[in-house]
């Protein structure tokens, strides 16, 4: 177990033409589950590969357990990585795949098989030992890849979208397994994903990346409730945060916080006329698409009514909705950064 830290890390490709990682400072905590979240192409994989030693950083340092490891090859870093494709050795049996890292460490045969048995028990794949990777399902392959990562008792786990090849149902159960498994062994884990549901569910903390930079790092609730800028605000949450322009600022609020006025009580509520254009039913909730006036400029927004709210709504009507003042977030319209709250009257 160890702390992974990167300092002022930059990685450029094509002679500086592509800034895949553009100045990242992140440190994990001991035994933490840190999720790197961001849209496709934002540099998550590159950051992970640089930590693993598969890419040489253009600038900056990588530290594992307090030591700078920039000059060390991947095998000397005591990390285990699960690739998006799992990268199992297709010509080896499941057992040979799992013991491969132990063989590389010149551990004796009996000890190897004991450890492989332990990892297989943990992941429930003992009965698959004699199969070849191509005879396994996606979920089984993932568990073999995890077992191979696990047997070495690495100081750090690096996982690159290990669930993205699985179907929705399997992904949910695999996510659950992964989380409880990590809690049991308590190894520091860095997990890459572009799926916010995975990130919110798995992470002790989430680092949101965009264009090679970390925009915000914090607990899932913090990142969701207090986004540092408009990118984080609109990347997280589905539907994303509504942003209403007003006097050089953007006023943001989550779709689930805009509710019919009869439900919202309290002194600091702000009532708004909401003209509903369209209505969708999604897993019990109602998503209302329409236009609000009064908060700032007239803006198209989305409101999400939970299944427990039964106020009848029909399209092409105007209703009075309300939002609590403490649910409003303020951003600078130009830079997108958070700013101090301003008074917005009723």
Ligand X SMILES: Nc1ncnc2c1ncn2[C@@H]1O[C@H](COP(=O)(O)OP(=O)(O)OP(=O)(O)O)[C@@H](O)[C@H]1O
By CB under 6 A, name the binding residues for ligand X.
Answer: 13-14, 18, 20, 38, 40-46, 194
149-166 as b/e, with b when 16 or more CB fall inside 10 Å?
bbbbebbbbbbbbbbeeb
Q: How far apart are CA 333 and CA 247, in angstroms?
A: 9
Q: 18 touches which of Mg ion, other proteins, ligand X, none (CB within 5 to 8 A by kind)? A: ligand X
- Binding-residue total with other proteins (CB under 8 A): 24
The interface partner of residue 257, options being other proteins, Mg ion, ligand X, none and the CB cut-off 5 to 8 Å by kind, is none
Rounded Cα–Cα distance for residues 182 and 119 (Å): 13
> How does DSSP assign 3-46, residue by residue?
-EEEEEEEEEETTTTEEEEEEEEEEPPTT-EEEEE--TTSSHHH
Among ligand X, Mg ion, other proteins, none, the one that 305 touches (CB under a kind-dependent 5 to 8 A) is none
196 binds Mg ion (CB under 5 A): no
Nearer to other proteins, 95 or 323 (CB): 95
Distance, in Å, from the CA atom of 240 to the CA atom of 263, rounded to the nearest integer, reads 22
Shortest spacing between CB 333 and ligand X, in angstroms: 27
The contact pattern for other proteins, residues 236-275, with x = CB under 8 A and - = no contact, is ----------------------------------------
- Span near Mg ion by CB under 5 A; candidates 45-53, 137-145, 216-224, 320-328: 45-53
User: How far apart are CB 45 and ligand X at their closest, in Å?
Assistant: 3
Minimum distance between the CB of residue 327 and Mg ion, rounded to whole angstroms?
Answer: 34
- Residue 152 binds to other proteins (criterion: CB under 8 A): yes
Contact (CB, 8 A) for 91 and 100: no
CA distance 225 to 227: 6
CB 320 within 8 Å of CB 274: yes
Query: How near is the Cβ of 326 to Mg ion at its closest, in Å?
Result: 37
Q: Which of helix, strand or coil describes residue 76?
A: helix
**What CA–CA distances, in Å, run from 182 to 30, 156, 218, 240?**
13, 11, 19, 30
Q: Taking the complex as a whole, how short is the minimal distance between the CB of residue 22 and ligand X, in angstroms?
A: 10
Question: Applying CB under 5 A, which residues contact Mg ion?
Answer: 45
Question: Applying CB under 8 A, which residues contact other proteins?
Answer: 52-54, 73-75, 79-81, 83, 85, 87-92, 100-101, 103-105, 148, 152
């Amino acid at each position: 177990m160890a702390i992974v830290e990167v300092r002022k890390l930059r990685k450029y490709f094509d002679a500086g033409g592509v800034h895949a990682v553009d100045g990242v400072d992140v440190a994990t905590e001991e035994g933490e589950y840190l999720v790197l979240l961001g849209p496709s192409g934002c540099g998550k994989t590159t950051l992970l590969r640089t930590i693993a030693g598969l890419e040489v950083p253009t600038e900056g340092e990588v530290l594992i357990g307090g030591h700078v490891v920039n000059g060390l090859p991947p095998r000397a870093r005591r990390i285990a990585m699960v690739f998006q494709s799992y990268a199992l050795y297709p010509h080896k049996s499941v057992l040979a795949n799992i013991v491969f890292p132990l063989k590389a460490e010149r551990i004796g045969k009996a000890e190897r098989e004991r450890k492989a048995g332990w990892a297989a028990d943990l992941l429930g794949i003992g009965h698959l030992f004699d199969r070849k990777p191509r005879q396994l399902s996606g979920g089984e392959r993932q568990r073999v890849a995890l077992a191979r990562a696990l047997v070495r008792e690495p100081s750090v786990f690096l996982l690159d979208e290990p669930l993205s090849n699985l179907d929705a149902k399997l992904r949910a159960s695999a996510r659950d397994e992964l989380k409880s498994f990590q809690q049991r062994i308590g190894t520091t884990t860095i997990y890459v994903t572009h799926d916010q549901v995975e990130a919110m569910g798995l992470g002790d903390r989430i680092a949101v990346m965009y264009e090679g930079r970390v925009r915000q790092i914090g607990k899932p609730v913090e990142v969701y409730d207090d986004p540092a800028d408009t990118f984080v605000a609109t990347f997280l949450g589905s539907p994303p945060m509504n942003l209403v322009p007003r006097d050089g600022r953007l006023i943001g609020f989550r779709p689930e916080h805009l509710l019919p006025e009869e439900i919202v009580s309290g002194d600091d509520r702000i009532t708004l006329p909401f003209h509903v254009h369209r209505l969708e039913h999604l897993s019990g909730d109602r998503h209302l698409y329409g236009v609000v006036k009064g908060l700032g400029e007239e803006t198209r927004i989305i409101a999400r009514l939970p299944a427990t709210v039964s106020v009848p709504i029909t399209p092409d009507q105007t209703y009075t909705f309300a939002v609590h003042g403490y649910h409003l977030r303020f951003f600078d319209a130009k830079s997108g950064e958070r700013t101090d709250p301003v008074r917005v009257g009723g």
